[in-house]
Amino acid sequence: MTMRVTFLGTGGAVPTTERGPSAVCVERTGERLLFDCGEGTQRQMMRFGTGFDISHLFVTHLHGDHVLGIPGLIQTVDFNNRTDALALYGPPGSKPHLRSLIEVGGFSPSFPVTITEVRPGTTALSQPEYEVRGFETAHRGVRSVGYALVESERKGRFDRERALELGVPEGPLFGKLHEGMPVELDDGSVVEPEQVVGPPRPGRRFVYTGDTRPTETTIEHATDADLLIHDATFDGQRAERAQKTGHSTAREAAEIANRAGAKRLALTHISSRYAADASTLEREAQSKTAQTEAFIPDDGAVLKIPYPDNSVAEWVCLSWHIYQLPCNGICERPDERSRLSRFRCGYPKWRYSRWFTLVCRRRLRWWAHWPRCGIAPKATPVNWPWGACDYCDW
């Protein structure tokens, strides 16, 4: 069951040519959740291929770089003849303001839009397989709330060999045991589920803070998180500025991730003063993380979050760059993130080349782009059936 996170906007209040305002799309088995919606989000969704089929939109606070994309997105999906309802969630007191954004200029959407105010410490959305919980954050001059998407526990692993040893024949009885029901065999003996099914396995945990100072509630809700997306607007030299404006430094975000035991930390809301080079923020965070993999995602970066019992995270890059990246913090050089080359796809049918990653297990491998554009690397991986690339350094 895939959980796919697309970073639509990773910049601060002032957008740059490289980073748009805040927006993150989470896709889980076909259902799409949007966290914050800065201006231009609908264009980012088109650019990075998430589609507009958003079922729930979670707003952390009402500053413009987190909500001004709502009118455009609502009107765009309305023009596309949407009929399904859209649910919006925001901090206490946000309902009239969100309604005004939806109806800006006298517009009235032709599909239902509901708005729910989320009090910190409550469940915003409850589904059979997961919950989205609100928690208190600390930002400047506004009520704000962060969100934790927490999956339900999964069934334990079924021990097929043990079941066969106990005389259970392959077939429907396996399914009954895995569902937690005892089965009676032909000889009258009874096999209990506990004999062949392991303990329940935890689901995944995704945490999004929005703009915030470091808080204890973030640590509480990000405990053992598979991905924590935290405000890291400034570097350590501007700690006073961060405190004054209600933001965090990269160092502070890393300390929160360490204390929470988060597996991965995505540093976002990057100030425009780092438009030329944000690597200082990344290095600062990585110097303070022990077991946590800290990184700054680019706009358009996509991360597939694995289950806790499968530690290999899979990146999918939709940009024009080739990267060398760590997989899950267990590589020999986990701080390596070198840009190798830049090129544009030469195949006339495709405006952009598509990319995919070779999953890294305990060592670094290289990004390679999808050969459907007609291009493949010169340094071909094992079982790569296509020819060499004439447009890049491979």
Active site residue 65: yes
Q: What are the tokens at 96?
A: 């009239």
Q: Which residues of 115-148 are buried (b: 16+ CB within 10 A; e: fewer)?
A: bbbbebeeebbeeeebbbbbbbbbbeeebbbbbb
Rounded alpha-carbon distances, angstroms, from residue 297 to 38, 171, 325:
17, 46, 11
| Catalytic residue (choose from 36, 65, 226, 235) | 65
* Long-range interactions of 272-277: CB distance < 8 A, separation 24+: 272/11, 272/12, 272/14, 272/15, 272/16, 272/19, 274/235, 275/16, 275/17, 275/18, 275/19
Which amino acids are annotated catalytic? 65
